[in-house]
Amino acid sequence: MSQTQNDSTIASNYRRILARISAQEQHAGRQAGSVLLLAVSKTHGAERLREAYAAGARHFGENYVQEALDKMTLLSQPPHALSDITWHFIGPIQSNKTRNIAGAFDWVHGIDRLKIARRLNDQRPAHLPALNVCIQVNLSNEDSKSGVTLDQADALCAEVAQLPRLQLRGLMAIPAPCQDQAQQRAVFKPLTARFNQLQQQYPTMDTLSIGMSDDFDAAIAEGSTMIRIGTAIFGARGQAADTGR
């Protein structure tokens, strides 16, 4: 598909996903509006983010720090500055990137080590509110080195909850791809159970960040409060990062 054709569909894709979220909330007996749509814009240029924004998107997810910083700069330029975007860092976190992440993002989803949490806490600028964080749990994915086990999540939550410049918001997971919805739900279930337990201990925990383009119906049925959708909004990702410059 050409760039132009893709661009013309971003807004309608975004609205279509919103409608599907509504339908699935209702189907699953969830409260209307309980699931937030995070538009995962990694590799897509700033102009494409503007299209999603025009359709109502205010939460964007990015995986690559420099690419994200470039887009933040482009989108904050007058005369069409977009000043009310909430930026989520959802990629793997390297130690040498924490300063830029702590300085520019509102949320970080992939916390799986105390060392990274401490760095983000120490580097969060004083003029910004506490950085919202989710602990990443590795549910099924033998291929992925990211994420703590469900049992380790308790200990990491306890330590992160002590860090004053971080706000512990919830759990995040990226299960191995699987097409069967019953199986997708079975993988999410123990995470939801653990999330519900942890919420009793940590009142700031209100976010279960699960569900991507191929499994968000299952994720909503299992209690997701934030789904992270890239391909189904922006189309397929190219090889190279296109930051719109």
Ligand X SMILES: *Cc1c(COP(=O)(O)O)cnc(C)c1O
Per the structure block, which two tokens stand in for 2? 């050409």
Q: Which residues contact 225 (CB under 8 A, 6 or more apart)?
A: 34, 35, 36, 170, 206, 207, 208, 209
Quick check: 211 binds ligand X (CB under 6 A)? no
> Minimum distance between the CB of residue 90 and ligand X, rounded to whole angstroms?
4
Binding mask 157-186 for ligand X (x = CB under 6 A): -----------------x------------
> Minimum distance between the CB of residue 230 and ligand X, rounded to whole angstroms?
3
Q: Which residues contact 119 (CB under 8 A, 6 or more apart)?
A: 95, 98, 99, 102
With CB under 6 A as the contact rule, the residue among 44, 228, 235, 243 that binds ligand X is 228
Binding mask 58-97 for ligand X (x = CB under 6 A): -----x--------------------------x-------
Residue nearest ligand X by beta-carbon distance: 230
Per the structure block, which two tokens stand in for 202? 């940590």
Residues binding ligand X: number (CB under 6 A): 12
Stretch that binds ligand X, among 29-37, 161-169, 191-199, 229-237 (CB under 6 A): 229-237
Binding mask 3-42 for ligand X (x = CB under 6 A): -------------------------------------x-x
CB burial of residue 95 (10 Å; 0-12, 13-18, 19+): exposed
CA dist., res. 179 & res. 24, Å (int): 18
Stretch that binds ligand X, among 29-37, 178-186, 189-197, 227-235 (CB under 6 A): 227-235
> Minimum distance between the CB of residue 161 and ligand X, rounded to whole angstroms?
23
In the complex, which residues of this chain contact ligand X (CB under 6 A)? 40, 42, 63, 90, 174, 212-213, 228-232
